[in-house]
Structure 1
Amino acid sequence: MPRSVWLLVAARAINRMGAFSLPFLTVLISVDFGTSATTAGLVSAAFGLASIPSRLAGGRLATVLGRRRTIVLGLTGCAVAQLGIAASGSLAEVAVFAVLLGLAFELYEPPSQGLIADAVGPADRVRAYGLLNAGLAVGGAGAGLLAAALGRWDLRRLFVVDALTCLLCALALHLALPADRTGRPAVRRGAGARPARPWRDRALWAVFASGTLFALVSLQIVMGLPLTLARRGLQPADAGVLFTASAVTAVAFQPALRLPRLASLSDPAALALGHVLLALGLGGYAASSGLPAFVGATVLCGLGEVLVLGRVFSVVAGLAPPGGADGYLAAYGTSWGIATVAAPVTSTQALEHLGATALWAATAGLCLALAAVQLLVVGPLVGARRPGGDPGRGSRPKGVAGPWRRAV
């Protein structure tokens, strides 16, 4: 892998080490200010709403200011907002800084994902994005334990640690990444390249719609687990242990992605399999009552997320025209902003009115529906954009026989 990819992976691992404050935002608001779960969910939803223009701005600023400047600006802004949340003395102050955090939160993503898309060829993108996710998981393994320890002491400490890791990540990337070219676009388009118009691309819309629901599922896990644990007589901070189990699963599963049967799966088949594994894990949450059972369900969810995240960014980058990866990835990434708005509301409302069992059972059913959508809708639309209608495959390791590849 190119040096820039390794730099981004290492920096994101550092940043991820302190990035478990957000799941505890609703808990912090409820505990420190005595508000209802609904009010806490609305504040978290305001953060998510602000993150939607943040993602789009990240794609635009990567072209205007340059990728390195945009990355540093986003991480520094996150640090300032996190420190503001930690120091807030009222609900209004927390809400203001939560919105500011949302406005800075997604600036990093489009330029970093665009750097990876341009640094490697199409055949290596699944592996590159998988490596990025593994780096996030390595940082997350320590972050979950950190959250479990600090969360028992003072939830505000999580936001301070998060801010420090953001600043450390910003400094490391400012020193290590190539300087932006002053007065020039961050990405050069080749002669005759068609302009990037992601919102006019039907295939991207299909990936975007299913990706929004996948993001909603992922964030409901993040937002809903601490509250679910509390309702079942466990410590909310034990969610840090579960997040660590998910991170360890993501790291341990990376070598399996290169096994012939997994690596040669078409993109729709791999995405469908990931959603089925997620459904199984979520069904486990619905039935779990003790921490060991929650850990087992989390491992299944972690396996599903590894399969989906490793493929979907490669699919989106493959849809973009030359030089258009930043715009396509930014457009797709707004799915996470929409989900960040919805997840605090849907998870808290479902927990209050339906209970934990109904929340996780319904979410498992949604994942099974998404598995079918990958095969019946998303796959054909994306395949129609490729020569010969090829639905796309992961990077095939050496030794995979041609007949097996055709069979899948």
Structure 2
Amino acid sequence: MVWVLVVARAVNRIGAFTLPFLGVVLTVEFGASLSQTGLILALFGAATIPSRLLGGQLADRIGRRRTIVLGLAGCAVAQTWIAVSDQLWSAVLAALLLGLVFEIYEPPSQATIADVTEPVDRPAAYGLLGAAMAAAGVLAGLLAAALSHWGLRWLFIADALTCLACAVLVARALPADVRPTSEPTTTTTVWRDRRLLILLAGGTVFATMYMQLVIGLPLSLLEQGLPTSGTGFILAVSAVTLILAQRLLRVQRLDDFTSLTIGYALLAIGLIVSAFAETLTVYLLATVLWSLGELFLLTRYLTLASGLAPDHARGRYLAVFGLSWGIATAIAPLTVTWLLESFGPEGLWLSSAAVAVALAASQPWFRTRLAPA
């Protein structure tokens, strides 16, 4: 089942390069100002918060497979709407719809992996998912670079098609959903788990930094007069780095908090290099560094979150933890555009690096607070 989900998500990942370009599309294609673009992207991010919660509820109540298919189909509709819009107001409505369906498939996807693996094997399983998505990301980056020369709207058409392909694969290959045999706990019980809320706080800060990279890199290239196709090459280099590092670095042998500390240190170094980058070559060097940090960070947060959850509420636990990404997607556009307008790329990336250093230093505190009661 893990392999089926990994292949399906890899197919979806091949076309999932539109979010870094959404701000550029709003600015270039629809004439939105930098501040308007930041506000629209913030609204998109806010819309992903109920999307993630809905995905967790549906995953535990109607099943993983149905929820994944529903979310992917919704993304395909919204992506197509953005591509065919001819007015800014239409693109804004489409972006809001995309936010409302964007995270539905994440909780059931993550819960499915946790359902069929033992706790000790979950870092490797999530790492497999990350490696497969990185491999697909190589194609995604190159495809994005190619399609961006034809027109940025083609990126959204390609993403819509891969969403539909992923939905079909999941619907045909994943086992049928089975109704839960025990009464699930309520959402209120999930919100009373103190360790989950602490993990959510730390994950939100990390997710905000990550989304600042996703949103800020294309805008930084635009601010410095570098080609927008450079974002596609950055995505490709990031993916290649993750693939090679999966084999060279045996991160599964590290405990979760050591892995997080190393990851934040690498992320900080990459951000510092980004702060002083003036050419695409230097940005690509920075990409290698922060991508290595990403390798250490992403799978460990998922492992920690899934480990806190009881079996019958895993979808909702992962959904609540996943709110970190919705909150980050709402905050990051505002911080990115404000920092770029006020301090330029240097101020954006140096401030992010300072936060990464603080998070690396705080991991002993998180280790103590997240220890089993």
TM-score by length of 1: 0.88
Letter of the 1:200 partner, please give it. R
Residue equivalent to 2:294: 305
After superposition, residues 182-201 of structure 1 pair within 5 angstroms as: 184-185=179-180, 188-189=181-182, 197-201=189-193
Is 1:93 aligned to 2:90, yes or no? Answer: yes
> CA shift at 1:267, angstroms?
1.3
Deviations 1:213-259 (A, max 9, x none): 1111111111011111122231122111011111111111112343x
Question: d(CA) in 2 for partners of 1:13 and 1:174?
Answer: 15
After superposition, residues 48-87 of structure 1 pair within 5 angstroms as: 48-87=45-84
Q: Secondary structure at the match of 2:29?
A: helix
Deviations 1:38-75 (A, max 9, x none): 10111111111110000000011112221111100000
Aligned length: 372
After superposition, residues 125-136 of structure 1 pair within 5 angstroms as: 125-136=122-133
Residue equivalent to 2:315: 326
Letter of the 1:342 partner, please give it. I
Matched-pair contact (CA < 8 Å) for 2:115–2:311: no
After superposition, residues 379-394 of structure 1 pair within 5 angstroms as: 379-385=367-373
Is 1:113 aligned to 2:115, yes or no? Answer: no
Deviations 1:134-171 (A, max 9, x none): 11111111111111111122000000000000000000
Q: Secondary structure at the match of 2:9?
A: helix
Matched-pair contact (CA < 8 Å) for 1:147–1:240: yes
> CA shift at 1:100, angstroms?
0.6
Q: Tell me, which stretches of 5 or more residues in structure 1 are unaligned?
A: 386-408
> CA shift at 1:194, angstroms?
7.5
> CA shift at 1:335, angstroms?
0.4
Question: d(CA) in 1 for partners of 2:139 and 2:99?
Answer: 24
Is 1:138 aligned to 2:126, yes or no? Answer: no
Residue equivalent to 1:392: none
Letter of the 2:195 partner, please give it. A
Letter of the 2:22 partner, please give it. L
Question: d(CA) in 1 for partners of 2:281 and 2:275?
Answer: 14
After superposition, residues 237-256 of structure 1 pair within 5 angstroms as: 237-256=229-248
1:209 to 201, 206, 214: 201
Deviations 1:4-46 (A, max 9, x none): 1001111111101111111111111111222211101111111
Residue equivalent to 2:150: 153
Matched-pair contact (CA < 8 Å) for 2:271–2:352: yes
Runs of 4+ in structure 1 off by over 4 angstroms are 193-196
Question: d(CA) in 2 for partners of 1:215 and 1:201?
Answer: 21
Is 1:370 aligned to 2:359, yes or no? Answer: yes
Question: d(CA) in 2 for partners of 1:18 and 1:118?
Answer: 27
Question: d(CA) in 2 for partners of 1:167 and 1:348?
Answer: 32
Letter of the 1:8 partner, please give it. L
Question: d(CA) in 2 for partners of 1:130 and 1:288?
Answer: 30
Question: d(CA) in 2 for partners of 1:151 and 1:131?
Answer: 29
Residue equivalent to 1:123: 120
TM-score by length of 2: 0.97
- Cα distance change, pair 189–91 in 1 and its aligned pair in 2 (3 A): same
> CA shift at 1:263, angstroms?
3.4
> CA shift at 1:353, angstroms?
1.3
Question: d(CA) in 1 for partners of 2:84 and 2:134?
Answer: 28
Letter of the 1:295 partner, please give it. L
Residue equivalent to 1:38: 35
Q: Tell me, which stretches of 5 or more residues in structure 2 are unaligned?
A: none
Is 1:102 aligned to 2:90, yes or no? Answer: no
> CA shift at 1:189, angstroms?
4.7
